[in-house]
Amino acid sequence: MVRVPLLMGLYTFSLLGSFWLSYLIRFDFNIELQYKPAMMLGFAWIIPLKLLVLILLGQFSGWPGYFSIPDLRGHFTALAASSFIIYVVRFATGTAFAPPRGIILLDFLLSFMMLTAMRLALRIIREKYFSPQNAPARQAKRIGIIGAGDVGASLAKELDVRRGLGLEPAAFFDDNKDKWGSRVYNIPVVGPPEYILQRKDSLHLEQLVIAMPSAPVKRIREVLKILQQAHLPYYTVPSPDQLATGKVKVSRLRSVEIQDLLNREPVQLDSETIGKILKDRPVMVTGAGGSIGSELCRQIAAFNPKRLLLVEQCEVQIFKIEQELIGLGYGGTIVPLVADLLDLTRMRIIFERYRPEVIFHAAAHKHVPMMEMQPTEAIKNNTLGTFHLARLAQEFNADRLVMISTDKAINPTSVMGVSKRLAEIAVQALYAGQPEKTKFMAVRFGNVLGSSGSVVPIFENQIAAGGPVKVTHPEVTRYFMTIPEAVGLVLQSGAQGVGGEIFILDMGNPVKIVDLARQLIELHSLKPDVDIEIEFVGLRPGEKLFEELSHRAENIQPTNHPKILRLVATPPSLASVVQELNALSDQMHSLEPNQLKQRIKQIVPEYQPFIP
């Protein structure tokens, strides 16, 4: 191991040089004879003293070519402590054993400067000549960075280090007039983003990067129109929540996505409260391979549960999330379990063996038109499956079960929505029947961007095929949020629930689906109704023009979190719910789809079924 001897030799040489230079400066480069013995004595004990203090403060544990602000602080502390000791020795013994006060101060300053310069030089050498990510500068594409704030500056700095990415920052564009004409990391800030169109050729720009993660959505849309007119490839930096985790670097550029154009602020979570219900406890996630279930697994794993049970019927999906979690370092925590919720024997064995204390129930059939054609499957899986899971949770004394519901359960017009509403009623009734046992709660939210059933991937495929993009109705609106945001709020709801609640997440403002389609087309640098046609095909069976937040029997109350509301309603008695569900289970296979819908309406009066 040559690292420590190498650093020791470099530090010794630097400290000797700074001590000698401090004498030269103090005596105008003509050291008087009477001070030379003290200088030689200082070489004998002051240099070892400084090295010892640097060792004690861990300044030789880092790699020579890596040097950052914490290392700088460590050097300053070690040299300041050494200088203090030297001054104490001088005060106690006089100048016979220690140099004059001016020398002590000069030596401190010069030592700090020389050690810092030496370490920075090693870092520069490593980054410029020994980093495997470096590439010849002539291969790099010249890019313009939109946003000269902290994120843009971090991007420029990282691209300078990671030259293997093949990107060379050539100019900044920023809305702040005070920055125009200045330089950030020696890169000029030439003006606002509007200057891109007139300066792209003179600056020889080949690519553009948006580095404004906190900019208003309106401004982002304006900038996108400019970039589309520039006819250059453009990308953006990771989202603020990704950057906040520290797992994603600012240089991990990605295409601009539709969620960047929705006015969704980053969610602030009470991690301490969530950690109390998850840390060191066995946690189960059903539907663990789905869009919501897999994100639940990612976020729950970070809270260090004792065991994370991944329950999923599809082995392909559970394999994907299992491998991802293993790659993230959670292989010793997770237990992948291929299981069908309706297989009561299999589910009982899982509960007996693993005794989950916290359950997040995300398994469900969610496709509205498909469930409309086969309502039996929706009721069997979404309603009866949830009811059986909840009864097992009670039987095995689970602490809480959080059911993932939907805004389509409010005044439902679809079988999928009413199957979820029935599941809500069932878990509320179970809690009301035995409130001292498992805490049951449901969380309602609308559409999530990026999920397997989301309209966005459907539109993406239609755009890729050249159109048309098919929208059901020009006035249809939906609420949207991102998957990480929805899951974070689900965890927050589960942590603050006391039992029997239905929580609803703040979905922001509803979005017109036709506007969403237009924005997606524009993100592909195409023009709606010119390059890609938008076709209106009519509402599908069970669909609404707009989704609602609550129905009339529910009272909305605030919670401790600004983006979570609590819905209060009195459920039917447990005995009546059990009777109705048992009767429905017995009858549903003998009824035609329309008859089954009418039968469900007898249980959920606000249900307005689609009867062709």
Tell me which residue has tokens 């496709």: 367
What is the token pair recorded at 62? 């880092």
Round to whole Å and give the CA distance between 319 and 300.
18
Residues contacting 113, CB < 8 A, separation 6+? 18
**In this structure, which long-range contacts are made by residues 156-159, counting pairs with CB atoms below 8 Å and at least 24 apart in sequence?**
156/184, 156/185, 156/187, 157/185, 158/249, 158/250, 158/251, 159/251
How, if at all, do strands 141-146 and 167-173 pair? parallel
Burial of 377-390, coded b for 16+ CB within 10 Å and e otherwise, reads ebbbbbbbbbbbbb
Would you please indicate which residues are annotated as catalytic (active-site) residues? 408
The neighbour count for residue 605, using CB atoms within 10 Å, is: 8
Reduced to 3 states (helix: H, G, I; strand: E, B; else coil), residue 309 is strand
Round to whole Å and give the CA distance between 362 and 125.
52
Is the C-alpha dihedral spanning 304, 309, 310, 315 positive or negative?
A: positive
Round to whole Å and give the CA distance between 78 and 324.
43
How, if at all, do strands 187-191 and 183-184 pair? antiparallel
Check residue 30 and report its DSSP letter.
Answer: -
What is the token pair recorded at 169? 């920052």
Residue spans of beta strands (DSSP E) within 274-338: 282-286, 307-312, 334-338
